[in-house]
Amino acid sequence: MVIDVLKNILDELARQELFPAAVLRPNQAGICAIPLPDGAQLRLELDKRAENLLILSVLGNVTPGRYRENLFKEALKANGLPHPRHGTLAFSTHSEKLLLFESMPLPGLTGGEVGAFLQPFMEKASVWREAVSTGSVPEVAASKVNLGLGSLFGLRSLDKNLPKT
């Protein structure tokens, strides 16, 4: 059963003592909502096909305007960092909220691996959540951005291949 797979991972995670064992239980919908010290919540659940463990934290509301544009620029830079990135920043147009999420393939996944991932994930979430709540923008060092294909968006400059005129 799908919830059993999640329950087994949560049981292994409980042995790491990162969270009280009492909060590491999925609800009837198969979602484990873990309250965090800053009042936020960490969600662990399986995707619809039960192929991946989804980890999600809501970082806060981001209203339209210049602040949103600046925040998104830094979020794109953060998403362009080489692995491990400790989560991907995303925006829900439905709720107008910034999110941090990760998808971990289930085959062979252990609670130990999830626990090792969660610490830096929660640290990243805390930094971005604080920024959103205070209206600031975390600065992502451009020198660390993975420009593997020539740019943040994976586009290469073609001018070196163009004939000189």
Could you tell me if 85 and 146 are in contact, meaning their C-beta atoms sit under 8 angstroms apart? no
**Tens digit of each residue's pLDDT (9 = 90 or more) over 34-84:** 998 888 999 999 999 989 999 999 999 998 899 999 999 999 999 999 988
Q: Where are the alpha helices (DSSP H) in the chain?
A: 2-14, 66-79, 111-134
**Tens digit of each residue's pLDDT (9 = 90 or more) over 131-156:** 999 999 998 875 444 444 444 433 33
Q: How far apart are the first and last CA of the chain?
A: 66
Instruction: Give residue 99's pLDDT.
Output: 96
Instruction: Give residue 3's pLDDT.
Output: 64
pTM of the model: 0.81
Give me the half-sphere count of Cα atoms (radius 13 Å) on the Cβ side of residue 74. Answer: 16
> Which domains, and CATH codes, for the chain?
2-138 (3.30.1460.10)
